[in-house]
Amino acid sequence: MERRAYIAQVPIDCDLDVTTVQRSRKVIDGLIDDGCRRIVLNMSGCSYLDSAGMALLFREIRRMREAGGLVSLVNVSDRVLRSLRIARVVDFAPVTGAGAHREVADLDPTVVPNWRTTLSVDARHLSQTRARVEQLVGRMPFSPDQMFDITLAVGEAMGNAVDHTSGEGALVTIASYPDRVVIDVTDVGDGFEVRSVSDIPHAGAADERGRGIRLMCLLADSVTISRRGTGKGTRVRLVKLVRSAQ
């Protein structure tokens, strides 16, 4: 299980049936009780779920909603996805089928954003910066669940910038386009580059670092991490497509 701050990725590595639901329930309940407000269930290891598994999903989705958070399911097999549709679980939580992550086309360089705003990242008042980002992105036609994910992903990127540079010189730039929002978080640290998420080693259960990039990739449609073109430092670019483009 991968967790950082209020976000957790929980692998469902077995079929969800009457013999296994208690184990998964204990894990998910524990996260919610500890204050986690975003849980991603990685269903790649689940090939079947019965009525007990359905009841578990409905229960945890409802519990998290009541707590003001979100549960979503990713890497769902076709067989399980059919069951979720029949039971209408898909009406209550974001569900993504296996291999369904959409490729994000590059922007035409001639396209001008509808608007662009840059904010300083204040290490002493990160919550205020997150709130301002959420307010700005809220101008766009994103669903509440998408807004939840955008805010968490940007918060993760800003947290990394503060962690690596104490927040000095860190900026967040939000650019609105007809089909997407593009958010750049930059810092003036030593500089860091990731060519592929597969190059990032998985963090162990006791590791305090190494989870942030993978979590951002779960929350955004595209994540690129590169060295800044001028000066020193890192640029984390997050892209989220608007509903009409999905």
Q: Is 190's pLDDT higher than 80?
A: no
Least-confidence region, from 23-37, 67-81, 130-144, 220-234: 220-234
What mean pLDDT is reported for the chain?
84
Residue 20, both tokens: 């296994």
Distance from C-alpha of 152 to C-alpha of 99, rounded to nearest angstrom: 23
Average pLDDT over residues 165-189: 89
Percentage of the residues of the chain whose pLDDT score is greater than 90: 44
Instruction: List alpha helices for 67-177, DSSP H.
Output: 78-86, 126-137, 144-165
Q: Is 12's pLDDT higher than 90?
A: yes
Q: Do domains 2-97 and 115-245 have the same CATH topology?
A: no
Give the right CATH number for 2-97 from 3.40.50.1820, 3.40.1190.20, 3.30.750.24, 3.10.290.10.
Answer: 3.30.750.24
Query: What's the CATH number for 115-245?
Result: 3.30.565.10
Q: Where are the domains of the chain?
A: 2-97, 115-245
| pLDDT at 5 (0 to 100) | 47
Q: How many CA atoms lie within 13 A of 245 on its CB side?
A: 17
**7: confidence class by pLDDT, cuts 50, 70, 90:** confident
DSSP three-state, residue 63? helix
**118: confidence class by pLDDT, cuts 50, 70, 90:** very high
Q: Is 28's pLDDT higher than 80?
A: yes
